[in-house]
Amino acid sequence: MTNAVVLRALPTPESFRVPPRLEGLRRVSYNLWWSWHPEARALFRRIHEPRWIATRNPVTVCSGPIDWEPLLEDPKFLIQVDEVVAAFDNYMASGSDHWFPRTHGANLTNPIAYFCAEFGWHESITLYSGGLGILAGDHMKAASDMALPLVGVGLLYRRGYFRQTIDADGHQEHAYPEVDLSLLPLVRAAGANGEQLVVSIPLGDRRVSAAVWIAQIGRVPVLLLDTDISANSEADRPITHILYVRGREMRLHQEMVLGVGGIRALRSLGVAPSVFHLNEGHSALNLIERAREFVVAGEPLETALERVKRSTVFTIHTPVSAGNEKFDVDLVKRVVGPLCDGTGEADSGGVPMQRVLDLAVGAEGDRATFDMTALSLRLSRGANAVSKLHAETANATWSPVTGSTILGITNGVHMPTWAGRETRAVYERFLNADLDQLDTAGPEASAFWERLGSVDALAWWDAHRRQKEALGDFLRSSIRRQLARHGESPEALRQADQFFDPTVLTIGFARRFATYKRANLLFTDLDRLERIVNDSERPVQIVFAGKAHPADRAGQEVIRDIWEKSRSDAFRGRIFVMEDYDMRTARYLVAGCDVWLNTPRRPLEASGTSGMKAAANGAVNVSILDGWWDEGFTGSNGYAIGDTSINPDELLQDESDAESLYRILEGEVAPRFYDRGADGLPTAWLDLARASIGSTLWRFSTTRMLHEYCERLYLPASAPQTGAHR
């Protein structure tokens, strides 16, 4: 039993050529399973190390010129290939022993359809910007691991989210390089007759076509829609080029392609989902398309809307207004109206535009604004926020809109993706723990994370030291590239070789540079910060990374300010700003930092997941009691900045939080880290690290998260309905 959704797909491109003896590499290369299995990545690195280092993409590695003969004559290499291919084939063929088939398999006849505007599986596929996309990618991986029948739906951005560079004055610069789709692990979906599948979407006064691609994430396929095809005009081909494009009309076009085109792609492939999961409101127009289908089939409008609602669940991700998608009503009438009211086309009409506008009135009652979150809440059977605290905020905000309680299902992270190689080896060696089997362990089984105290302290410290040294190497390489691009002298480049001392207490701060996240809180008192980082006995170094949205000038100014300070005499060599934050940089940071810092303005951080990833590697969280840390902090697994009170005077709140942060670093964190026993180990610090791991490894995993989604949202929404469509 595979419990996997299988879709029609065309063969992989002819450019991918391997010897017959190595044909199994094709199956592995075109499945993102390799992205969370280190043994597979090590294999492709061995095939062609320079190309792997440059692209970190098996398809690119195997599509380029390779001298296969020496590899075919190497018995160790062939054994390595056979082991990886066998592990992959066994993974794909099995599944009945995993949690969902074992516990609920008989209760779900058709798959879950998961709609999201972005997906982050690996840095080589740039379809993500940050937390939402990484969460969606982790959701797909965990669903695959636990054999939950699920199919994802998203957009194929040929230019992705921007690549960030920082100029010599600290200004963020944006680049959107086009990717070569033939060198990505993607295949075209096949139509009923074996042709390349293309779906058509009414957009205003015209029709736009979208090619359908498939990304395979273990057992889970994800459909990706692409408008950059010859069937479209030159004006429409860029609709799916850029993630989170600034233009509002272009953004609405993207969301029509995602919502309406996504439903049509599923129908064309014969997929009839039991439940539709909208991850944020970007795909809310699939609700209108599904209602239209019911009306065309003869259902009264209100019955159609109720049927859509019964099989829909919705996740809201942020209490910040800018994060909830809204559009001007006149724009929506022009772009979406023809789909709703009909323009003589066979696949439009039946859902009056005014009824749709009524459903999309926000909590404030503003009828000039079309609120995608409001539309999603009104047409969802169940909805959830992404932490318990966020649920309180969301219910207070959206009570005028939703007729039921918004649940709190706290986010998690895919532990096999984010646990560093050395940390993972410690789990396997000392605890016989396989992170790939987290769903078969679960809280009811013998929980290996409860036995962390039995792990040899030296083994823990050595594993962390190696990951920290790897972070240092990665950081120095990044800083040298920055300085060289800025025209710095050879002497300055040589000085960069001395940056980042792996023996020094290291704090990581990496996330989107929105102003409410207060990346600059550490700089409230510059003299005090200078004393902290340059303490002769207990020095501290701090690594910053993150992007500000191209339209967020205030966020970009925060980056510039921190960059400028990092270059000053007071902080040079102690504070670093790494550019182009992506999944690879994140893996180095969460694996190598000693402390993970998070300073949002409570209660604006809905969840946050980077701290969970760091904790899985033994980092200690120092955070505001917001998002996940509000429920994750136990009093003995890290530190809380301030308390749960909120001062309406933001300046005074910032000063109070900064004072608390400085006090924690000076009086708690640094003394504990540098307190060494006769064996040279920071015993008390390692106890804190173990507590950090033990309190997060299961509780804040996507596996636990999906258990909750299944039992609290998916299964209740999957009750059988009559009729042709769901």
pLDDT digits (tens, 9 = 90+) for 134-163: 999 999 999 999 999 999 999 999 999 999
Domains identified in the chain, total number: 2
158 and 265 inside one domain: yes
267 and 298 inside one domain: yes
Write the pLDDT tens digit of every residue in 528-587: 999 999 999 999 999 999 999 999 999 999 999 999 999 999 999 999 999 999 999 999
Residue 473 lies in a domain: yes
Question: Torsion-angle region of residue 679: left (phi > 0), alpha (psi -120 to 50) or beta?
Answer: alpha
Coil vs helix vs strand at 171:
coil
144 and 287 inside one domain: yes
Residue 135 lies in a domain: yes
Residue 92 lies in a domain: no
394 and 506 inside one domain: no
Q: What number is the average pLDDT over the span 168-176?
A: 95
Q: What is the mean pLDDT of the chain?
A: 94
405 and 500 inside one domain: no
Q: What number is the average pLDDT over the span 389-413?
A: 94
CA dihedral 631, 634, 638, 643 (to 10 degrees): 60
Residue 379 lies in a domain: yes
474 and 593 inside one domain: yes
Residue 498 lies in a domain: yes
How far is residue 404's CA from residue 661's CA, in Å, rounded to a whole number?
38
Residue 468 lies in a domain: yes
Sign of CA dihedral 304, 308, 310, 315: negative
Give the domain extent around 513. 415-700
How far is residue 149's CA from residue 277's CA, in Å, rounded to a whole number?
13
447 and 585 inside one domain: yes
Burial of 531 (0-12, 13-18, 19+ CB in 10 A): middle
Residue 722 lies in a domain: no
400 and 440 inside one domain: no
pLDDT of res. 1: 37
382 and 524 inside one domain: no
Tell me the two tokens of residue 699.
């509780």
407 and 433 inside one domain: no
How far is residue 355's CA from residue 340's CA, in Å, rounded to a whole number?
9
408 and 420 inside one domain: no
CATH number at residue 237: 3.40.50.2000
Coil vs helix vs strand at 660:
helix
Q: What number is the average pLDDT over the span 226-236?
A: 97
C-alpha 435: how far from chain center: 19
Pairing of strands 312-315, 382-385: parallel
pLDDT of res. 595: 98
What's the pTM?
A: 0.96
Residue whose entry in the numeric block shows the structure tokens 């379809």: 127
Q: What number is the average pLDDT over the span 273-280?
A: 97
CB 704 within 8 A of CB 616: no
Write the pLDDT tens digit of every residue in 284-342: 999 999 999 999 999 999 999 999 999 999 999 988 766 789 999 999 999 999 999 88
472 and 557 inside one domain: yes
Is the pLDDT at 98 greater than 90? The verdict is no
Is the pLDDT at 621 greater than 80? The verdict is yes
Residue 47 lies in a domain: no
